[in-house]
């Protein structure tokens, strides 16, 4: 999971925790992480979005989350996790135009 995806999950945890409580936030984030881990078994799930970035796929989760990821023969990399109808297309394109603000490992 890329640092940006971890930050997305941290922000989502904070948002849900504030509005619905820490227990609900923990459970939701765990389910998202489990879903992300399951992509390693069947990485060709999700919609191909080569129009945004070569090799990019978007997989939905529980109708409120869009998971942006890539994969190769050995690794699935979760790039971002978008919640609640955010315009992930615009955000990903903007990130590509501006480049990373700091190196991501």
Q: All domains of the chain, ordered by start, with CATH?
A: 3-98 (3.30.2310.20)
* Interacting residues of 64 by C-beta distance below 8 A, sequence separation 6+: 83, 84, 85
Q: Which residues contact 41 (CB under 8 A, 6 or more apart)?
A: none
For the chain, what percent of residues have pLDDT higher than 70?
A: 93
Whole-structure pTM value? 0.88
What is the pLDDT, as a whole number, of residue 97?
Answer: 80
Confidence grade of residue 100 (pLDDT, cut at 50, 70, 90):
low
- Is residue 6 exposed (0-12), middle (13-18) or buried (19+ Cβ within 10 Å)? middle
β-strand pairing of 76-83 with 65-71? antiparallel
Instruction: Tell me the per-residue pLDDT of 7-50, one tens digit each, with 9 for 90 and over.
Output: 999 999 999 999 999 999 999 999 999 999 999 999 999 999 99
Residue that the structure tokens 């948002």 belong to: 15
Please state, as a whole number, how many other Cβ atoms lie within 10 Å of the Cβ of residue 2: 18
Residue 85 pLDDT grade (very low, low, confident, very high; cuts 50, 70, 90): confident
């Amino acid at each position: 999971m890329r640092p940006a995806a971890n930050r997305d999950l941290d922000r989502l945890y904070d948002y849900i925790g504030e509005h619905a409580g820490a227990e609900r936030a923990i459970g939701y984030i765990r389910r998202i992480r489990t879903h992300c881990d399951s992509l390693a078994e069947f990485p060709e799930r999700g919609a191909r979005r080569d129009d945004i970035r070569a090799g990019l796929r978007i997989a939905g989760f529980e109708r409120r989350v869009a998971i942006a990821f890539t994969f190769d023969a050995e690794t699935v990399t979760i790039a971002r996790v978008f919640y609640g109808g955010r315009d992930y297309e615009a955000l990903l394109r903007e990130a590509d135009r501006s480049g990373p603000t700091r190196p991501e490992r």
